[in-house]
Amino acid sequence: MLPELPTPLVLVDRPRLRANLRRMQAAADAHGVEVRPHIKTHKCVAVAREQLAIGARGLTCAKIGEAEAMLPSGVRALFIAHSLGDPLHAPRLAALAEQVDDLRVGLTSEAHFDVLERLAQRTGRTLRVMLAADTGLGREGARDDATAERMAARAAASRHLELRGLYTHEGFFYGVRPAERPARLAAMLDRLATLRDRIDPALALWPGCSVSARQAAELSAGRVQAVRPGAYPFGDLYLTHVTQSMQPEDQAVHVLTTVVDRPEPGLALIDAGSKTLSPDRTPEGVHALPADGRGFSVFRLNEEHGYIRGPGTDDLRIGDRILLAPAHVCPVFNLTDTVVALEDGRPVDCWRIEGRGKVQ
Ligand SMILES: Cc1ncc(COP(=O)(O)O)c(C=O)c1O
């Protein structure tokens, strides 16, 4: 497979990528909901351009560096969904605000309020903020409605902050069984929409997670203004096997790897380790599965080795190439400088990962 290309190599199936983007955008469009994809997954201007070209209203980022890296995409609306507060960030935030029409940042707790307000003051401008509500992940966000209302009241009284909406990252949906998802999501949206209406019905409501985004749009009934999914353009074992929110045949990212040794029966070593696949694995302990459905799996990693065991392992020969579906796509992109885009199995483009390592 692709003998002219060196391995390990991250490959993107462009037709599948485009189909995944269109599916999400169409579901959102059908319910009058915007898509503001989280670019933490791909960190790649070429993919951001594809998202914006088919209708994404703006981009979500985790860090200022990611947001800066996405500017060449032509994006006009950016949301940095993080707890910014470092005074060193003020000049970069101010510069970023100059280069887009709509820059928003997260207001993520009562403790965060003063820090963010000071940062806004240092930028010399009013910062647009989205108030985070924790809906079960237990990371950022107001833990209860009374706290959210207090934060909103303080934002309304601030000369440096302008409250524009509420957001949540409902990442705990990765652990909710498919049959339970609609009811849990409906309850979450009811709570958030009621809270929003109590604060100010004109505020936007932006949930965000690939597992729930399409259903969130379907259940919106006019209450949700945008969804912010990240991993949906590509899929990974979490989306296909763990949550079953995507089909394995829709998976658009794979890692091409080569068998480099067969040191004992029942074991094959490949040239992709944790520096390619990342240490992430599914709850069953699988780092990657072969894309063609063979029975073996990558069950252990060192930095530059992957360990393969399971049905079919003894058929593998040194030099064989294996296309792997990784457990978690986001760190895979963050570990590579470039990815190769394929159409009909042939390379058609090479994309830089401009936001790679932009964690500041
Ligand atoms: C704040 C925020 N929004 C959206 C997302 C997108 O989630 P997913 O990759 O599950 O679509 C994430 C992912 O970590 C996130 O942290």
Question: Helices 181-199 and 145-157, interaxial angle, to 10°?
Answer: 40
Return the closest-CA partner of residue 57 out of 234, 228, 221: 228
Ligand 1 centroid to Cα of residue 166, in Å, is: 15
Only one residue has tokens 């003894």, namely 314
CB 142 within 8 A of CB 109: yes
Pocket of ligand 1 (CB under 6 A): 38, 41, 60, 81, 169, 171, 208-210, 228-231
Structural element, H or E, at residue 299: strand 297-301
Atom of ligand 1 nearest to the CA of 171: 10
Q: What is the pLDDT of residue 252?
A: 98
Q: What pLDDT sits at residue 76?
A: 98
Distance from residue 5's CA to the centre of ligand 1 (Å): 32
With the most atoms of ligand 1 within 8 angstroms of its CB, the residue from 228, 245, 328, 332 to mutate is 228
Taking the C-alpha atoms of residue 170 and residue 188, their distance in angstroms, rounded to an integer, is 9
Atom of ligand 1 nearest to the CA of 81: 1
Q: What is the CATH number of domain 240-352?
A: 2.40.37.20
Domains of the chain, by residue range, sit at: 14-232, 240-352
**pTM across the whole model:** 0.97
For ligand 1, atom 9, the nearest C-alpha belongs to: 230
In the chain, which residues have pLDDT < 50?
Answer: none
Looking at the CA of residue 41, tell me the nearest atom of ligand 1. Answer: 9
CB-based burial, 70-81: b 16+ in 10 Å, e otherwise: bbebebebbbbb
Closest CA to 161 of 116, 204, 199, 98: 116
CATH number of 14-232: 3.55.50.30, 3.40.50.620, 3.20.20.10, 3.40.50.300?
3.20.20.10
| Extended strands (E) in 25-182 | 34-35, 59-61, 77-80, 102-107, 127-132, 161-167
Rg value, the chain, Cα: 21
The pLDDT of residue 1: 85
pLDDT of residue 63: 98
pLDDT of 189 reads 98
| Mutational pocket test of ligand 1: of 21, 34, 38, 66, the residue with most ligand atoms within 8 Å of the beta carbon | 38
Q: Please identify which residue in the block is written with the tokens 């072969």.
A: 290
| Three-state SS letters, 120-133 | HHHHCCCEEEEEEE
